[in-house]
Amino acid sequence: MKYSICDFSQSEVTKFNDSNPEYALDPTDLLIFQWFIDFAAVSNIPRSSNSKSKGMWKKIVEDTEYFYIKYDALIDEFPILGYQSIRQIQRRFDKYVASGLLCKKVFHEGRKGSFSYFGFTEKLFSLKYDENNTSQKLNPHQTEKQSANKSNQNDKSETVTDDRNVMSKTVTDDRNVMSKTVTDDRNVMSKTVTDDRNVMCFKRNSTTNLRNSATNSSSFTDTQENAGSVPAETEAEASLRTKTNELFGYEVSFQPDPFSLLVCRLNQSGIPEEKWGDYLSWAFNYLSERVKNKESFDGYFYRSFTQYALIHKYNHNGAESSVTEKAANELVTCPVCGYIHGRFEDCTNCGLSQSAKEDEDAVRLKRLVWNLPENTRSEYNSRLQKITEKYFALGIKAITNAEIRSQQKKEICELNAEYGIA
């Protein structure tokens, strides 16, 4: 048995599933937990004056840290999971909260909306693998079987003793019959294998070969047929083809033709026809920023732009696109340093995060740091960075252990007092 999966004890998770079948965890859940834990740990590293944080938004309530989960990020991080909507991931997090593995708080942030933040519980960390715990190296199901076998050992021993002569006689009487049966069937068995050898060697399920281009084409064609493709190109398909050619700057040739499938899926996703051209432009720009090999972009675009996952992403972002575009053009003044930047951006001058702009205490402390002389401010930020990195090196303990968090807070308070920040 493999002791750990994504740093979680397989033995402890198995026990949890046996006790809570309605909340049973699978490897996907463990992968999401590990991603959440690692990402949350990064959030505890303070940003310097000229860098942005790449961690999660964090809020502390009653000494418990809560982190904001953006469901879209999981779709982007793990395409192998095949998620096509944020609702699929939301259901998993609802399960985690209901089972007590995570705790949840909803924060209302005015005109921005409401945001769900999640925190870790001791119940979740009780499932982590501990190499010093020998009980986690035992399969709980096999342990139960071994106990059952031991309890029945005496009964089995008595039965074997009583039946020994009978068993011996049966084997003796049937020996010739068994030998004859094997001899008679030997040629038949050999002939069967010989006749079927060519069939067995060349029988192959092409759907398991991910690099088989014939497999991809046939699958794509089948999907088109199931989607209700039409023999003649419609006006909508012709319009999409023309728009695609404009985006590439030349006439593209995709085989099998994808536009009838695209029309069907755009309709099923509820996107109005007048927005289909906008979707193509958005998909073209979105995919061009993510392709690794620019020379193979046409193939990457062809494989991706008809997928439900990409259409749903546009559909989800489309409702906010006008608001986001307008907000991106709006400028605000940083309450700490007076630097002008985008409304929903971190301040690149003093490092104040967008999520902390409405936290009066965080703004007040950041302003006191900013008002220090430049050399003193650099020295303070350097020492603060060292304190944080020291506790970050402790890993998950820095998040889950209240005593360690209290010690970290104490050192930061002592540092602030030394520089007159209170």
Give 303-314 as a DSSP string: HHTT-HHHHHHH
The closest alpha carbon to 399, from 8, 36, 4, belongs to 36
Rounded Cα distance between 136 and 10, Å, is 8
Model pLDDT, residue 9? 92
Model pLDDT, residue 212? 42
Residue 252 has pLDDT above 90, yes or no: no
Confidence of residue 221 (pLDDT cuts 50, 70, 90): very low
Residue 92 CB neighbours (<10 A): 16
Residue 259 CB neighbours (<10 A): 20
Q: What percent of the chain has pLDDT above 70?
A: 69
Cis geometry, peptide bond prior to residue 335 (ω within 30 degrees of 0): no
Average pLDDT, the chain: 75
Rounded Cα distance between 39 and 42, Å, is 5
Residue 227 has pLDDT above 60, yes or no: no
Q: Per the structure block, which two tokens stand in for 250?
A: 């030349």
Confidence of residue 10 (pLDDT cuts 50, 70, 90): very high
Domain ranges of the chain: 4-147, 160-202, 213-328, 334-418
Question: In sequence order, what are the residues at sequence separation of 6 or more whose Cβ sits closer than 8 angstroms to the Cβ of residue 198?
Answer: none
Among the four given CATH numbers 1.10.10, 1.10.3470, 1.10.760, 3.30.1370, the one describing domain 4-147: 1.10.10
The closest alpha carbon to 321, from 361, 271, 366, belongs to 271
Rounded Cα distance between 74 and 371, Å, is 39
Helix (H) or strand (E) holding 208: none
Residue 33 CB neighbours (<10 A): 22
For residues 87-111, average pLDDT: 88
In contact, 25 and 67? CB cutoff 8 Å: no
Residue 202 has pLDDT above 70, yes or no: no
What's CA 45's distance to the chain center, in Å? 22
| Mean pLDDT lowest among 118-132, 150-164, 181-195, 337-351 | 181-195
Model pLDDT, residue 151? 61
Helix (H) or strand (E) holding 193: helix 153-202
Rounded Cα distance between 416 and 400, Å, is 24
SS3 state at 2: coil
Give 137-160 as a DSSP string: GS-HHHHHHHHHHHHTHHHHHHHH
Residue 97 has pLDDT above 90, yes or no: yes
Rounded Cα distance between 282 and 417, Å, is 51
Residue 141 CB neighbours (<10 A): 13
Strand order in the sheet with 58-61: 58-61, 64-68, 114-120, 102-108
Confidence of residue 180 (pLDDT cuts 50, 70, 90): very low
Q: What percent of the chain has pLDDT above 90?
A: 12
Range with top average pLDDT, 117-131, 133-147, 279-293 = 117-131
For residues 33-55, average pLDDT: 66
In contact, 248 and 298? CB cutoff 8 Å: yes
Range with top average pLDDT, 157-171, 189-203, 239-253 = 239-253
Helices (H) and strands (E) in the chain, counts: 17, 8
Question: In sequence order, what are the residues at sequence separation of 6 or more whose Cβ sits closer than 8 angstroms to the Cβ of residue 263?
Answer: 234, 236, 237, 240, 276
